[in-house]
Amino acid sequence: MLFVCVKNGGKSQMAAALMRQRHGHTIDVHSAGTRPGTALNAGSVTSLEEVGASVAGEHPKPIDPAMLDTVDRVVILGEDAQIEQPGTSTTDRWITDEPSARGIEGHARMNLIRDDITTRVDALAAALRHEV
């Protein structure tokens, strides 16, 4: 499983951390960015910590092209990330909730994004179990 967003500092890291926390015993999880930033989003990290998910040891990193052919599934988070050569993996795109469009900012925004991603991660893990 590879989660991808543009900077690999927020949403893809959140998805990977939540998948590892909730389903990591059965799913090998990675994350990457199309244009990696320099640091993890502090709000994302705090929001994850509140539910016991960790990004310890993680940092923004680029996509390893070889990984696109070795993972079973690639999930692109958001509309902006584009993978030049998607490889042979099944690819999905998640357009996640954006609370700022409703005027919700800060900590409340990050928690709503986290909760949306959690719901999607759980649904994906269930679907993957049925594919096996």
Confidence (pLDDT) at 36: 98
Confidence (pLDDT) at 32: 98
3-state secondary structure at position 4: strand
Confidence (pLDDT) at 89: 83
d(CA 82, CA 75): 11
The mean per-residue pLDDT over the stretch 62-67 comes to 93
Show Cβ contacts of residue 62 under 8 Å, excluding neighbours closer than 6 positions: 8, 32, 33, 34, 36
**What structural domains and CATH numbers belong to the chain?**
2-131 (3.40.50.2300)
Please give the mean pLDDT across all residues of the chain.
Answer: 94
d(CA 9, CA 5): 8
3-state secondary structure at position 26: coil
Confidence check: pLDDT of 37 > 80: yes
What is the percent of the chain where pLDDT is above 70?
Answer: 99
Show Cβ contacts of residue 73 under 8 Å, excluding neighbours closer than 6 positions: 1, 2, 89, 90, 91, 92, 124, 128
Q: What is the pLDDT of residues 110-123, one digit of tens each?
A: 999 999 999 999 99
The mean per-residue pLDDT over the stretch 56-60 comes to 97
Q: What is the pLDDT of residues 90-103, one digit of tens each?
A: 999 999 989 999 99
Confidence check: pLDDT of 26 > 60: yes
Confidence (pLDDT) at 87: 80
Global pTM reads 0.95
